[in-house]
A and B are shown apart, each in its own frame.
Chain A
C-alpha cells in the first residue's frame, strides 16, 4: 500500500494539485493497480534484454538540410515557413500572449 507521503510526492512530481479526498482515492486505486502489476516479479528476466520498441529501426537518419516545406506524405500541403499567419496559429493558442510572444507568470512567489 502506498503511503500518504508517497502519493503527495508523486502528485507534486507530476505537477498535479490534488485534494485530500483525491489523495485517499488515488492512494487506494494506485495501490490496487500496483498489487496487480507486482505479478511481474513472478517471471525470471535474468539476462533478458529490454525491448523498448518493435520496429527494428535504429537511428532513423535524414540529411540535416533546411527545408521550408514541412508538408508531409505526398508533399501537397503548403509550406510551413514561419510567418505572421503561422505564428498566430501557434502562439494564438496561448492563453496569455503579447506581440507574438507567450507571457508567463513569475517564477518565484511574491
Chain B
C-alpha cells in the first residue's frame, strides 16, 4: 500500500482490500514510525467508529488537520506555547463538514506559531523537515500539513492561507495546495490570524482530490458572515475539459530580481507547455505588484495585534503564576507564551494602529490594497487565469533565513497579492529545480469565485506531466 489518493482509498474500500479502520491503522502506524524524523504531526487522534458518511466520496479517507483548526475535545496549539494545553470546546465548521462526509482525522499538524511564518521554523515545537531533503524547510505556515501529504502520512490535509501559507509549503514539498476565494470556506473554528485574509484550503496529492475536498468544505455558514451566500458548483465537473482556447496572463512584474534561476526556468517551461496545449499566452501588467508585500505587512500585523489581544492569561492558555496584579498577568503571560515572530507582529501592528500613525500606515495600506485589487480586476477583463511562480526559490535550508525576518517575508511576494485581492489560487508541482533538485511550484490564479478555471488549468497541466 503506498501513496494513496482519495480515489484509491474509495476503490480500496469498495473492493474490500481494506476497511476504513484498517487503512486508518496503516497510516497511524506509519506516522508512529516516521514522524520523529519529520515532525509533521504535533498530536495524533484515534479512529472514530461512529463516523460513517458511506455515501460520500470522502468516506473513510484519513486526513491531517493544521493545528489552528478546532476539533472538539482535542488539543489545538496553533504552534504556540501559549496554547500548549488548550482543548477545543467545539468543532470548526470545516471539521463538522468533513465528519459528516465520513472523513477520519489522523492528527494535528505542525505550523508556524499562529500561522505567522514561511518556514514552520516559528513553531514553538520545532521545525518540520522537508520529506524531499531533511536539511531543508517545508515552507510555511502549513508546513506540517504539506510534509504529511508529501510523505504519505495522510491522504490529504487542511491548511490555512493568509498570505501563501497553503500554496508556498505545497510548492516546497511538491504537492498541490489550493487557496479558495475569500468567502468560499467558513473560518468558524479557525484560530484567527488576519481576519480579512485568512482562508482554509486543502493540501492534496493531485488536483482532482483538491476539487473533491473543496466540494466538501465550501459553502455558506451562519457562523462566518463573510461566507458567500451563493451555492458552489461541483468543482470536479469541468476538470476534464481541455484548456485549449483559454487566455492565460503572465504578469511581466513576476520576472524580477530575487526570482531564482532554477525556478524561473521551470516556470517558463510550464508556460510553454500551456501554449502547446492551445492556450493563448498574453503578457499583462500588475503595476502595483511591487507594493503588495509592504501593504500586507501593515494589514496583517494590525489585524494580528487585535486578534491576539484575546490571549490574556485569564480565560484560557498559559498564565503566569508569579504575577500579583492583573496587568502583570497580561504582560507576563504574553511575554512567556508568545514567540519572537508573534511579538514582532503584535508590536508592529500596535505601532501602525497607534494614535498619530493610523493614517500613514493602516489607511495607506488599505488604499494600496484597493489599487492591487483593481490591477487584478483589469487583468481579468483580458484573461481567464494568471500564472507564475508560487515562491521565488525552492525550499531553503533550515536556519538559513531565520535571523532575518524581512528575508522570510519576501518568500511570500508571489502569494500575498492574491490574498489582498481575495482571489483563488493553486500551487501545483512543475518539476524539480536543476540546481537543487527540489520541487518547484507553479501558481495559477483565478478571478473571484472562479476556482473552476483554476482547477481545470491545474488538472490539465498535471495530466500533461504524467
Pair A57/B222 contact, Cβ less than 8 Å:
no
As a 0/1 sequence over residues 296 to 332 of chain B, the CB contacts with chain A under 8 angstroms (1 = contact) are 0110000001000100111111110101111111111
Closest to B317 in A: A93
Pair B297/A45 contact, Cβ less than 8 Å:
no
Pair B86/A93 contact, Cβ less than 8 Å:
yes
Pair B89/A105 contact, Cβ less than 8 Å:
no
Cβ distance A61 to chain B, nearest Cβ, rounded Å: 9
- CA of A38 to CA of B297, assembled, Å: 11
Interface residues of B in 349-365 (CB under 8 A from A): 350-351, 354, 361, 363-365
Pair A37/B96 contact, Cβ less than 8 Å:
no
A34: B residues at CB distance < 8 A: 348, 351
A33 with B367, Cβ < 8 A, contacts A16-B335, A106-B326 known: no
Choose one: B87, B316, B343, B421; the contact of A54 (CB below 8 Å): B421
B323: A residues at CB distance < 8 A: 105
A107 with B326, Cβ < 8 A, contacts A10-B350, A16-B335, A94-B315 known: yes
Choose one: B188, B321, B329, B364; the contact of A104 (CB below 8 Å): B329
Interface size on A, residues (CB 8 A): 61
Interface contacts (Cβ under 8 Å), in number, total 195
Choose one: A42, A53, A89, A109; the contact of B89 (CB below 8 Å): A89
B313: A residues at CB distance < 8 A: 95
Choose one: B295, B335, B348; the contact of A30 (CB below 8 Å): B348
Pair B329/A40 contact, Cβ less than 8 Å:
no
Binds A, one of B59-67, B112-120, B223-231, B238-246: B223-231
- CA of A72 to CA of B189, assembled, Å: 10
- CA of A7 to CA of B306, assembled, Å: 18
Choose one: A11, A32, A60, A76; the contact of B347 (CB below 8 Å): A11
A6: B residues at CB distance < 8 A: 351
Cβ distance A89 to chain B, nearest Cβ, rounded Å: 4
- CA of A22 to CA of B406, assembled, Å: 17
Pair A26/B343 contact, Cβ less than 8 Å:
yes
B100: A residues at CB distance < 8 A: 73-74, 76
B294: A residues at CB distance < 8 A: 36-40
Closest to B318 in A: A95
Q: A interface vs B, CB < 8 Å?
A: 2, 6-7, 10-11, 13-18, 22, 26, 29-30, 32-34, 36-43, 45, 48-55, 57, 60, 62, 70-74, 76-77, 80, 86, 89-90, 93-96, 102, 104-110
Instruction: Beyond A10-B351, A15-B334, A36-B297, list 8 extra A-B contacts (CB 8 Å).
Output: A16-B347, A33-B406, A49-B367, A50-B367, A54-B373, A55-B182, A62-B222, A107-B326
14 sample A-B contacts, Cβ–Cβ < 8 Å, listed by A number = A15-B334, A16-B347, A33-B409, A36-B294, A36-B297, A37-B361, A45-B368, A48-B367, A51-B366, A51-B369, A55-B226, A73-B186, A89-B89, A93-B89
